Amino acid sequence: MVLDPAAVSSQPYVEETTCGLEQDVKYVGNDIGSAHATDAGACCSLCEAFGGCRAFSWTEHEGGTCWFKNRKDEVSWETGVQSGQVFANPAAPSCALELNVDYIGKNIGNASSINAYGCCSICMKTVGCGAFSWTDLNGGICYLKNTKGDTQPSTRFVSSTV
């Protein structure tokens, strides 16, 4: 059988949901909204219907609340909280990270990020950003740059062009 490379499937791509609940686990950060629900099981369908929701944490706050998340990153242990991931995290943007390298100057701004991959995504979405240097200082800071420029060795930095 030979496949025609121009052929297009008539079936639209539908992202598969998972929604297994994690007991006593809270997904930290990435909040994009909330909704009332008396139990965590209801959060899955509510999250599916909420634009941009990929995961949630349910707490007993005000009789039960689903806290919608745009992704699952950091987790913490908290008794009574239940969390679930409806869709897998989107693929991380690809940046060729240079470990222990700082790009000097060329700064156009900065932003907070827990890791260099977050900086890659932030830079890709920032007009005029062509490179970044990330450090873990102060919880993680991206130094956004218009171009790479000169480099210097630095054990606290990870850098990349975009």
Whether 12 is in a domain gets the answer no
9: pLDDT strictly greater than 50: no
Domain count, the chain: 2
Residue located via tokens 């693929």? 91
Ramachandran assignment for 39, one of left (phi > 0), alpha (psi -120 to 50 degrees), beta (any other) = beta
Whether 131 is in a domain gets the answer yes
Whether 2 is in a domain gets the answer no
Domain harbouring 31, CATH code: 3.50.4.10
Both 28 and 52 in a single domain?
Answer: yes
The model's pTM is: 0.48
Both 112 and 143 in a single domain?
Answer: yes
User: Domain span at residue 154?
Assistant: 98-161
**What are the tens digits of pLDDT across the range 57-81?**
999 999 999 999 888 888 999 999 9
Number of Cβ within 10 Å of residue 63's Cβ equals 8
